[in-house]
Amino acid sequence: SQERVFNFAAGPAILPENVLKKAESELYIWRGSGMSVMEMSHRGKDFLSIIEKAEADLRKLLNIPSDYTVLFLQGGATTQFAAIPLNLCNPEDPVDYLVTGSWGDKAVKEAQKFCKPNVIWSGKSEKYTKIPSFDALEQNPDAKYLHICANETIHGVEFKNYPIPKNKDGILVADMSSNFCSKPVDVSKFGIIYAGAQKNVGPSGVTIVIIKNDLIGNAQPITPEMLDYKIHADNKSLYNTPPCYGIYMCGLVFEDLLDQGGLEEVQKKNMKKAEILYNTIDASNGFYRCPVEKSVRSLMNVPFTLEKSDLEAEFIKEAAKEKMVQLKGHRSVGGMRASIYNAMPLAGVEKLVAFMKDFQARHA
Ligand code: PMP
């Protein structure tokens, strides 16, 4: 069928319809260049105008201070799990990780190869449903940085504010893959923010790193060139061939977010969508359940289970028939998960909650 569905996938994920249409209209020939963006030299003036505009728009959106560098890289957020310790520490340096879900857990495991990470708190024994009170955290003053995952995509746990790093350089590093550009963020509180694009801002293949300039240039000698922030910063993300088309798509998304009035407006829409979905779950008398502590529930990824778990397959099948797809929870946790990123329209969430209420009425 040629009809679009409401795609609740965690990533790659739904993109704004007007962005897709604009890309379609420019796919064959980009603005008088005689060719598609996919065919352009990454060093030609047309592509340079695309990457420069994408960066300028992202700087506007997040109000990125001038002493921060923006990089458009490859390798996904997963590659940053290694790049961060390689660029910020020596092999014997201690670092602190706060682990609130499986992505933070993966990050610390990778860091173990390149420095001496210490997990200062883990939510694992409580099935990753919480974020601790920051006062109680025992941070190491000698740590090179404190790492958090701002939004755990699988478990649906999101930081609503951020711990103050107590290490001597005061460096906080955040994986924002799944809530990047979903709300305003004070970039100056972070040493590094990084995110794979494929949830909120574009197709897979682009990884965005926002890094304070004074953290660039200290990579361990064994660091591969492709992981060295200085190489990419000195070459304005054009050291090698970048993911050109993906960067172009991210640029269209940034433009669209600015047109919507910026991240404060975007956050309002995201809060509204999350509210109606969580309210439906909480008002279901236990038919649906979200395990995450209320104060840290994600605005982006909403995991929920059915009290009658044998109905889960039926729920997913019926929803798909009504053009709501990818509602199955991550294989590691089961249940359902609705990812409601920026590009998910309110109408998609309204349709989902209407379906949930109807499904409950039929199966209660
Ligand atoms: N961190 C988070 C929070 C994620 O959600 C993901 C992807 N689901 C990753 C890291 C890994 O990203 P990538 O697949 O881009 O390497």
167-193 pLDDT, tens digit each: 989 999 999 999 999 999 999 999 999
Ligand 1 pocket (Cβ < 6 Å) reads 11, 76-78, 103, 149, 153, 175, 177-178, 196
Q: Which of 79, 81, 102, 103 to mutate to test the pocket of ligand 1 (most atoms within 8 A of CB)?
A: 103
| Residue 107, pLDDT score | 98
> Which part of the chain is CATH 3.40.640.10?
18-259
What integer pLDDT is reported at residue 364 of this predicted model?
A: 84
Check if 67 is active-site.
Answer: no
Nearest residue (CA) to ligand 1, atom 12: 77
Give the end-to-end CA distance of the chain in Å, rounded to a whole number: 33
**Ligand 1 pocket test: which of 84, 98, 153, 158 has the largest number of ligand atoms within 8 Å of its C-beta?**
153
Pairing status of strand 192-196 against strand 68-73: unpaired
- Give Cα 215 to chain centroid, integer Å: 22
Q: How far is the CA of 218 from the centre of ligand 1 (A)?
A: 25
Measured from the Cα of 151, ligand 1's closest atom is 3
145 CA → ligand 1 middle, Å = 20
The CA–CA distances, whole Å, from 27 to 45, 86, 116 equal 18, 38, 47
* Residue type (1 letter), 203: P
Q: pTM surpassing 0.95?
A: yes
Helix 102-111 vs helix 76-88: angle between axes, to the nearest 10 degrees? 40
211 C-alpha to ligand 1 centroid (Å): 18
Cα Dmax for the chain: 63
The β-bridge relationship of strands 288-289 and 172-175 is unpaired
Domain covering 261-363 in this structure, CATH number? 3.90.1150.10
Q: Which of 96, 175, 228, 256 is catalytic?
A: 175
Pick the CATH number of 18-259 from 3.40.50.2300, 3.40.50.300, 3.40.50.2000, 3.40.640.10: 3.40.640.10
Low-confidence ranges of the chain (pLDDT < 70): 1
Cβ neighbours, 10 Å, residue 199: 30
Residue of 98, 151, 178, 299 best suited for mutating to test ligand 1, as the one with most atoms within 8 Å of CB: 178
Centroid of ligand 1 to alpha carbon of 80 (angstroms)? 10
Considering the candidates 199, 212, 269, 328, report the single residue annotated as catalytic: 199
Q: Is the reported ipTM for this assembly greater than 0.90?
A: yes
Q: Which atom of ligand 1 is nearest to the CA of 207?
A: 15
> Is the bond preceding 242 in cis, omega lying within 30 degrees of 0?
no
Q: If you measure from the C-alpha of residue 110 to the centroid of ligand 1, how many angstroms do you get, rounded to a whole number?
A: 13
| Dihedrals phi, psi of 116, to nearest 5 degrees | -120, 80
In the numeric block, the tokens 């704004």 are attached to 16
CA 351 – CA 328 distance, rounded (Å) = 17
Whole-number Å distance between alpha carbons of 332 and 150: 20
Distance 339 CA to ligand 1 centre (A): 14
* CATH 3.90.1150.10 domain span(s) along the chain: 261-363
Active site residue 121: no
Q: Is 30 a catalytic residue?
A: no
Nearest residue by C-alpha to atom 5 in ligand 1: 153
- Considering the candidates 30, 57, 103, 269, report the single residue annotated as catalytic: 103
- The residue whose C-alpha atom lies closest to atom 13 belonging to ligand 1 is 76
